[in-house]
């Protein structure tokens, strides 16, 4: 049954209709349940005081014997007595039983566009959703095809699912789509020194890749605060120092058996 609710209600206004009490919560009418039974009627107030009797009409003169004098006029009605006090409030009726839940309203509908498997939906308007071709999630991997912008003063955090995994917390990079991204570089962090050289380090930060040789290029000055430039004491894999580069290590430094260090013409290698 349709219910005509009052127009322009105020917050906490109530309205009784269709056997239920409704409350306006500032946004919508919310059903509160069936009103309780009407309380018993209060006791009847005391009888008001009797109004004063109106003055009697004047007595007509005595007529000749035998003829009855005319009846005098009725006196005016006295004023009504004051209203007796209101009887006490009747007892509160018991809470009525909660009404049954109303039927579920019809589901809303939206227009879906560009739909394809694993595409993430974004809102275009209040009634239209678009499946983004460049944003997919298959339940395991989230793919973003395009620029990614993270704007937050707290920065981007990379965290692992477990404590101390083999590869630590890392970001991987690859630009060789034609070779199924076989070559990768990475930035990796570990909270313990288990993979560090020596035992003096409580944390380990590593930049590397999955290829035999790897070059880290810094376009600018390199400043180390409260630390040292360090290197291992042995060359364990054959290397070539390019002719356009100079290089060096802190000694003593040993080139292992079967390992070759090639210094091309024009390059300088220094052991400090």
- Is the CB of residue 60 less than 8 Å from the CB of residue 69? yes
Asked if pLDDT for residue 178 goes beyond 70, the answer is yes
- Separation of alpha carbons 46 and 198, rounded Å: 104
- Separation of alpha carbons 269 and 239, rounded Å: 12
User: Could you give the 3-state DSSP secondary structure of residue 148?
Assistant: coil
- Separation of alpha carbons 52 and 35, rounded Å: 47
- Is the CB of residue 36 less than 8 Å from the CB of residue 19? no
Asked if pLDDT for residue 256 goes beyond 70, the answer is yes
172 Cα distance to chain centroid? 31
Asked if pLDDT for residue 260 goes beyond 60, the answer is yes
Which of the four pLDDT bands, split at 50, 70 and 90, describes residue 255? very high
- Separation of alpha carbons 266 and 245, rounded Å: 8
Query: How long a stretch of residues is the chain?
Result: 272
Instruction: Count the Cβ atoms, other than its own, within 10 Å of residue 4.
Output: 7
At residue 15, φ and ψ (nearest 5 deg) are -150, 135
Tokens read off for 48: 């008001």
- pTM recorded for the entire structure: 0.48
* Tokens 């004051």 found at: 82
Model confidence pLDDT, tens digit, residues 196-241: 666 667 777 888 888 877 778 889 998 889 888 888 899 999 999 9
Q: What is the mean pLDDT of the chain?
A: 84
pLDDT of the residue at 198 = 61
> Of 124-128, 177-181, 247-251, which range is least confident?
177-181
Tokens read off for 235: 């060359």
Instruction: Count the Cβ atoms, other than its own, within 10 Å of residue 72.
Output: 11
Asked if pLDDT for residue 164 goes beyond 70, the answer is yes
| For range 30-49, the mean pLDDT | 72
């Amino acid at each position: 049954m349709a219910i005509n609710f009052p127009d322009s209600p105020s917050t906490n206004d109530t309205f009784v209709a269709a056997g239920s009490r409704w409350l306006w919560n500032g946004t919508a009418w919310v059903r509160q349940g069936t009103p309780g039974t009407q309380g018993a009627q209060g006791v009847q107030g005391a009888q008001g005081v009797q109004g004063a009797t109106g003055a009697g009409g004047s007595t007509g003169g005595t007529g000749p014997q035998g003829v009855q004098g005319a009846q005098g006029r009725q006196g005016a009605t006295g004023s009504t007595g004051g209203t007796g006090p209101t009887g006490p409030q009747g007892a509160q009726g018991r809470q009525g039983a909660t009404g049954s839940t109303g039927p579920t309203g019809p589901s809303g509908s939206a227009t879906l566009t560009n739909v394809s498997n694993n595409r993430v939906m974004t809102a275009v308007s209040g009634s239209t959703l678009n499946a983004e071709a460049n944003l997919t999630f298959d339940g395991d991997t989230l793919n973003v095809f395009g620029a990614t912008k993270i704007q937050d003063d707290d920065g981007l955090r990379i965290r692992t699912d477990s404590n101390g995994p083999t590869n630590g917390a890392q970001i991987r990079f690859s630009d060789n789509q034609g070779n199924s991204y076989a070559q990768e570089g990475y930035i990796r962090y570990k909270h313990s020194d288990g993979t560090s050289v020596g035992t003096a380090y409580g944390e380990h930060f590593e930049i590397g890749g999955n290829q035999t040789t790897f070059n880290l290029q810094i376009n600018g000055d390199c400043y180390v605060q409260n630390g040292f430039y360090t290197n291992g004491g042995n060359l364990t894999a054959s290397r070539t120092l390019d002719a356009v580069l100079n290089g060096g290590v802190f000694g003593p430094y040993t080139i292992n058996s079967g390992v070759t260090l090639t210094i091309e013409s024009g390059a300088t290698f220094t052991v400090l």
